[in-house]
Amino acid sequence: MGAQQGTALITGASAGIGAVYARRLAERGYDLVLVARREDRLRGLASELEAAHSIRVEALKADLTVDADLQRVAQRAAGEDLTLLINNAGIGGYGPFEQVDPLLLEQLVRLHILGPMLATRSALPGMLARGRGGVINVASLLAFSGSLPPNPLPHRATYAGAKAFLVQFTRTLAGELRGGPVRVQVCCPGMTETEFNGGYKGAMKPEDVVTASLVALERGETVCVPGLEAADALVALEQAEAGMRAGAKTTLAARYR
């Protein structure tokens, strides 16, 4: 079955949203490459899915904050069997910006920006040549939280900035690829009931996040917000961006004179 669907590579696959993507895609007959730091969990999940669905599952232990591992995953994303890439791995790095360890901030940027960008760059040429494929970048509604101060939201300058990169990167790339055989999506969940959020109860289930994402991918939606009932906010976002671009003039605005 996997040969028909091809292979999906999922980062951050050992738990939470990534593990749900793995289970859903296994049910659909995809072969899988599961990427995470916790090899014991990866191998356990791989064995479970291989036995249940008669697919091939590769467990790829990697720490995407480390250059060598980041490059190794990007290289695997260039494989001829790959039909779907899901960049899901993430860390929070929360805290007042002036107090957060600079090393942690660097790791966050590697994981949320450099990793997805390089993996997508590796996967895309082959997908285009083969005439099929998809990329899902998992961001967050915190990408749209720049106007809100901390409390009750966390201190999140770098995290929110990195997720905003994923939103704009994906939207702009979708414009480049419009009309072609490869679809790209950025999935922006709100608070989700996962280990990442301490198993916070009352949040959206990761199963619902993945359901929305896969339906949106089939429909060709570039921005997926699992809890958003209507697309009005997305239309308003595009209109607001058009308003900002109206400032591309050769004369200084009167309010600055």
How confident is the model over 14-39, as pLDDT tens digits?
999 999 999 999 999 999 999 999 99
159 pLDDT exceeds 60? yes
Question: In whole angstroms, what is the distance from residue 15 CA to residue 42 CA?
Answer: 9
Nearest to 226 by CA among 135, 141, 113, 136: 141
Contact 73, 11 (CB under 8 A): yes
pLDDT reported for residue 196: 65
The residue annotated as part of the active site, out of 30, 94, 159, 201, is 159
Q: Whole-number mean pLDDT of the chain?
A: 95
- The residue type found at 227 is G
**Rounded to whole angstroms, what are the CA distances from 10 to 56, 120, 136?**
14, 12, 9
Q: Which region among 74-78, 163-167, 184-188, 196-200 has the lowest average model confidence (pLDDT)?
A: 196-200
Nearest to 38 by CA among 57, 74, 8, 64: 64
The residue annotated as part of the active site, out of 61, 163, 205, 256, is 163
Whether this model's pTM surpasses 0.85? yes
199 pLDDT exceeds 60? no
pLDDT reported for residue 55: 98
Contact 92, 196 (CB under 8 A): yes
Angular region, 16: left φ>0, alpha ψ -120 to 50, beta rest: left
pLDDT reported for residue 194: 78
Angular region, 54: left φ>0, alpha ψ -120 to 50, beta rest: left
Architecture of domain 2-256: 3-Layer(aba) Sandwich (3.40)
pLDDT reported for residue 197: 54
- SS3 state at 252: coil
Q: At what angle do helices 102-109 and 157-177 cross, to 10 degrees?
A: 20
Residues recorded for the chain: 257
- The residue type found at 54 is S
- SS3 state at 78: coil
Per-residue model confidence as pLDDT tens digits over 203-252: 999 999 999 999 999 999 999 999 999 999 999 999 999 999 999 999 99
Exposure string over 14-42, b if 16+ CB within 10 A, otherwise e: bbbbbbbbbbbbbeeebbbbbbbbeeebb
Span 195-202, average pLDDT: 64
The pLDDT-based confidence of 56 (bands split at 50, 70, 90) is very high
Question: In whole angstroms, what is the distance from residue 186 CA to residue 164 CA?
Answer: 10
195 pLDDT exceeds 80? no
Is 163 a known active-site residue?
Answer: yes
Residue with tokens 């961001």: 139
Please report, for the chain, the start and end positions of each structural domain, with discontinuous segments joined by +.
Answer: 2-256
